[in-house]
Amino acid sequence: MTQFDPNRLNAFLGQMLGDLGGAFSLPLIRLGDRLGLYRLLHERGPIEAGALAEAAGCDPRYVREWLSAQAASGYVGFDPATGTFSLSPEQAMVFAVEDSPAWLIGAFDTAAAMVENQSKVADAFRSGEGVGWGDQAGCLFCAVARFFRPGYLNHLVEEWIPALGGGVAEKLRKGALVADIGCGHGISTILMAKAFPRSEFIGYDFHEGSITAAREHARAHGLDGNIRFEVGRAKDFPATGLDLVTCFDCLHDMGDPEGAAAHVRRALKPGGTWMIVEPLAGDSLAENLNPVGRLYYSASTMICVPTSRAQEVGAALGAQAGEKRLAEVIRAGGFRNVRRATETPFNMVLEAT
């Protein structure tokens, strides 16, 4: 056996124990969300295991074991003097408060879908082909919608749109025509339609199931006058004369992003703007060797690259393409100016004119 440094091995094993603890916690976190345990902890804690089980309508023995695992992970607090469990405000922001910018349940749902999709992606590794968005295992699109919702809810209207130049926010307040390409379940489209009632919004997605869900969400929000959803692809959606086109976390998933950019350019009216929200990334692998890059490269391997490879051209930009590569794609579509308007720890917002 090759000689090794025992200190480095122990440090690496410590890292692996942390990773395994997180992996083993995946189904428990999703159970806590599905059964309402986090919500009840937030609303009623500090609380004993039996009382939490009763409030949730669950068996006390199962709930006690679940709480023990959560406490060992540091996901919930435990007071040995009183035998009670609780969520701190910070823990609640991650697990219980759906409108929090730090709510991460959707990320765990996405991770579960990635595991379920393993065999299909393994076949794609061997063939070099793709796995279509609608062919991914489980309700990946539901998980992704939950994952992105907190960022859109807390940043889109208040920060991202005001960061655009050319008076975009004012145009939307007065009344503009907007296409949201790759809208998924319509969360981004609905947020904009509610914030700017004088503007008209069209959400397009090539996945029919997502469009059905988006229409249902719009009805649930009481929206019908200034919003509609249609099945359509990024490179040939029918709308024209647009003041604003938006793409949220989807350009890198497209098979032909350059073709999409060219079509967006043709669909915009003179003086129109394209807002592209993409995962935050540097322009080199070395810049992305960090916790955020770790998440995005993993998701890209299991979701983004297979999705792109399943489409014509199959450019497979990946979720960590970086601003430089994305700008090259956007300019190839005929846009002259590309700039980073703003960013968050997870996203960058590019503006193209």
**Angle at CA of residue 102, ends 101 and 106, nearest 5°:** 100
Quick check: 274 and 245 in contact, CB under 8 A?
A: yes
Predicted pLDDT at 2: 79
Predicted pLDDT at 1: 66
The CATH topology of domain 105-352 is Rossmann fold (3.40.50)
Give residue-wise pLDDT tens across range 28-73: 999 999 999 999 999 998 999 999 999 999 999 999 999 999 999 9
Mean pLDDT of all residues belonging to the chain: 96
Thinking of the domain 6-95, which architecture would CATH place it in?
Orthogonal Bundle (1.10)
CA of residue 128 relative to chain centroid, distance: 25
In 3D space, the residue among 178, 198, 174 whose CA is nearest the CA of residue 189 turns out to be 178
**Cis check: omega of the bond before 279, within 30 degrees of 0:** no
How far apart CA 267 and CA 265 sit, in angstroms, is 5
- The ranges assigned to domains in the chain are 6-95, 105-352
Q: In what order do the strands lie in the sheet with 200-205?
A: 227-231, 200-205, 177-181, 242-248, 268-279, 347-352, 338-343
One-letter amino acid of 150:
P
**Angle at CA of residue 330, ends 327 and 336, nearest 5°:** 85
Name the one residue in this structure whose structure tokens are 């061997």.
Answer: 126
Q: Which residues of the chain have pLDDT under 50?
A: none
User: SS3 for the chain, per residue?
Assistant: CCCCCHHHHHHHHHHHHHHHHHHHHHHHHHHHHHCCHHHHHHHHCCECHHHHHHHHCCCHHHHHHHHHHHHHHCCCEEECCCCEEECCHHHHHHHCCCCCCCCCHHHHHHHHHHHHCHHHHHHHHHHCCCCCHHHCCCCHHHHHHHHHHHHHHHHHHHHHCCCCCCCHHHHHHHCCEEEEECCCCCHHHHHHHHHCCCCEEEEEECCHHHHHHHHHHHHHCCCCCCEEEEECCCCCCCCCCEEEEEEECCHHHCCCHHHHHHHHHHHEEEEEEEEEEEECCCCCCHHHCCHHHHHHHHHHHHHHHHHHHCCCCCCCCCCCCCHHHHHHHHHHCCCCCEEEEEECCCEEEEEEC
Give residue-wise pLDDT tens across range 215-255: 999 999 898 889 999 999 999 999 999 999 999 999 999 99
φ/ψ of 322, rounded to 5, equals: 90, 155
